[in-house]
Structure 1
């Protein structure tokens, strides 16, 4: 009997407040979509950052005879090279350095020809025009600035180039997008909570006579409040389902089928990552709906 009463009250509430319920579904859909997108963006940053930073190398280019750098007074001497090698392999820098490889002018020339074989200017470049260098791999690729600061301006060093500087702006943009998505999601979630509370209050007001009669015949507070609470939960679950579907479609067709084909250099999040996020969308949405409903009912369902 109580179960039938709860179901009938839910049906009555949804029919009476159809427009408000649809509004809750849509606001929840938009807000949870941004929450999921923010989580997936953060996962994408982590997925891309690992392999990219693992490949980061610092190049310490040595002076040549024609170098114009203030730290250069001609080509780097053997003493300069030995000093750089010793600094890289001795404390305190050794704890940051995973490997060191010296690249001669002939090796630099061979690599240049391989990289720019289609460029007509490559034929006019000679080995003595290219600098020798130390190629440094790092234990922690995000600590590239330590090596750069240690050797910039050192005797025999023309310049220190680190690939990390190229990656930092890229990841900064991704992190900014993640933060923006989560901030917008937070604003929309607040709007959803307020809208759920308003819907519950309106439903409680419209059915105040029925709930008064039920209270007089001995209905418990749980029986009276449960239909209103479940109305909000159902609306939020519909919004979460729409958000999950939108994320699955976006990742399946926008990322896996299009972006991964256009830019195949990276690993991307997939539908499996979306399925990991989906339960959190439902749980988070239901908790917010329950909280908004309980607060509203405690104040407005007094008969």
Structure 2
């Protein structure tokens, strides 16, 4: 196979059909870019969730009589609860927080509301056990074991709050994938149309090549390469867009949250892994569509 001839045929085809090629590149860039954005959101959610899971605690709030009358967890009910918690195999650590400590902790966590805290009675803060589990994801059994136990007012697990927070990120991911799917359909139609137009404009050349013994694969390969090259150009634009988004948005506007260890940073490694998957999807999308179009169209 003469690669010089093949290369010339691909360039000629792209130049002849430049408007369709540009439209396909832009559509592919948008579709693949949204797909890559969804991958980065998945990475962000996964890494950020790991940060929060390491901090997740289950809080067992005690009843009013224990909160008011037992500041050191010395009563039989309180000590019994603590012993029951500590002997569980799924518990990593446990500490008792009395009413005064709970109030002081609230003041420390919310310094911006320090003036308002003066008007809040300490009686509003029940004593509690703060428990860290070895596997925070499996908190349901622990929670059920202590709900309704004598001396227990309620059980609060922070993982439920975290799940609600990350449900927002999951919604953003799903939206990105949905729009990417719609754009991918548009890209497929453009690829099919581009290949048909290219094959039609060069039908005479292809016919002559077939007459002199060229194989079907040899005559169709330039069209496949045109589609793949256009798709990879779109992928390159999409990757550049992700890098810009990482610098300006993910690690730019969100820098304060990253420094406060509230969310995980998006690294260039994450972008690189996403780029590999984006390139694979782009090649697959263009190659399969172009091949199927040629099989259906050129045969006629």
Number of aligned residue pairs: give it.
295
CA RMSD of aligned residues (A): 2.7
- Alignment equivalent of 1:198, drawn from 188, 193, 202: 193
Q: CA-to-partner distance for each residue in 1:265-287, whole Å, 9 max, x for gaps?
A: 32221333112211221122112
Deviation, structure 1 residue 13: 1.4
Residue 171 of structure 1: aligned partner: 166
Instruction: Give distance in 1, aligned partners of 2:116 and 2:10.
Output: 77
Instruction: Give distance in 1, aligned partners of 2:284 and 2:108.
Output: 59
Whether 1:296 aligns to 2:293 is yes
Deviation, structure 1 residue 147: 2.8
Instruction: List aligned pairs for 1:197-276, cutoff 5 A.
Output: 197-261=192-256, 264-265=259-260, 266-276=263-273
Instruction: Give distance in 2, aligned partners of 1:129 and 1:295.
Output: 69
Instruction: Give distance in 2, aligned partners of 1:14 and 1:130.
Output: 71
SS of structure 2 residue aligned to 1:161:
strand
Work out whether residues 58 and 135 of structure 1, in 8 Å CA contact, stay in contact via their aligned partners in 2. Answer: yes
Instruction: Give distance in 2, aligned partners of 1:116 and 1:299.
Output: 67
Bigger shift: 156-165 or 195-204? 156-165
Work out whether residues 252 and 271 of structure 1, in 8 Å CA contact, stay in contact via their aligned partners in 2. Answer: no
SS of structure 2 residue aligned to 1:209:
helix
Work out whether residues 77 and 156 of structure 1, in 8 Å CA contact, stay in contact via their aligned partners in 2. Answer: no
Bigger shift: 290-299 or 41-50? 290-299
Q: TM-score, normalised by structure 2?
A: 0.88
- Alignment equivalent of 1:281, drawn from 267, 278, 295: 278
SS of structure 2 residue aligned to 1:32:
helix
Instruction: List aligned pairs for 1:1-303, cutoff 5 A.
Output: 2-65=2-65, 78-90=75-87, 94-115=88-109, 119-120=114-115, 122-123=117-118, 130-261=125-256, 264-265=259-260, 266-302=263-299
Structure 2 spans left out of the alignment, 5+ residues: none
Deviation, structure 1 residue 122: 4.4
Distance 1:227 1:174, change over 3 A: same
Q: TM-score, normalised by structure 1?
A: 0.87
SS of structure 1 residue aligned to 2:229:
helix
Instruction: Give distance in 1, aligned partners of 2:276 and 2:114.
Output: 53
Instruction: Give distance in 1, aligned partners of 2:273 and 2:258.
Output: 24
Structure 1 spans left out of the alignment, 5+ residues: none
